[in-house]
Structures are given as structure tokens and as C-alpha cells.
Structure 1
Amino acid sequence: MCLWRRIVARIPEYRRIIAFRNILVHAYADVGDPNVWCIASSKLPELRRTGAPAGPASGPLRRRYRSSP
């Protein structure tokens, strides 16, 4: 199994996380800071308990997604 599939298998609600990211990227002007804070503060502890990387800049994915200088 590839690295991506192993990581995704450990992340609860990964589809909702991706959807929220898309909203933040494409409709950021319509999303209030209190909403982002509420979601992040309530869901982040659960995500951290999975042991999944926090983003492209962490763990084994860093090399793959590192931007060139």
C-alpha cells in the first residue's frame, strides 16, 4: 500500500478535512475567523491523536512536497 493510502486510512473524516480546505482556499473571504477557530480547536486534538502528519511540511511527505528554492 502506498504512503498516501496508509496515511489517509488513519485520518477520520478525511473527506470533510479536504472539503474544508477547499472552502478556505476558494472562499476564504466568506469564512469568518471564529468559524475556523471553532473547527480547528475542536477537531485538531482528535486529528493529532491519529498520529497522521499535520501537513506536507512534516514527516516523510516533506521531501515529496518541498518547494524548490
Structure 2
Amino acid sequence: MTTLEDRVMDLESRMAFQDDTIQTLNDVLFQQQQAVERLQLQMAALLKRYEEMVGQYSVSEEEAPPPHY
């Protein structure tokens, strides 16, 4: 049978490993959040550029279709 002291030491050891795991997960989550924010900014910039390009090259609805239609 294990003594109370052994059980407390085991619990303290488990808690230390859990604290380390939680900190590691927190660091990874923080890095992922930064990556998501960068991607959102890039996506917004690309969308803005796309809309500008579409505006430059859009065909006016008043133009008649080409003769072969």
C-alpha cells in the first residue's frame, strides 16, 4: 500500500505535467490565433484587390453583345 506522502507526491507530479501540457497548448493556440489573424488580413487585402480589378474590367450592361450571339 502506498503512503499518503507517496500519493501526494504522485499528485504533485501529475499536476506539474498537466501544467506543462496546458502551457504548451496555450502557446500553440496563441501562435495559431496569430496565424489566423494574419490570414484574415491577407484575405481582406486580396478581396479588396479583386474587387478593384473587377471594377476596372467589368463590362457595361449597356453594351450590345457581340454580333456572333
TM-score, with structure 2 as normaliser: 0.25
More helix by share: 2
**Taking CA–CA contacts closer than 8 Å with sequence separation of 6 or more, which of the two structures ends up with the larger relative contact order?**
1
TM-score, with structure 1 as normaliser: 0.25
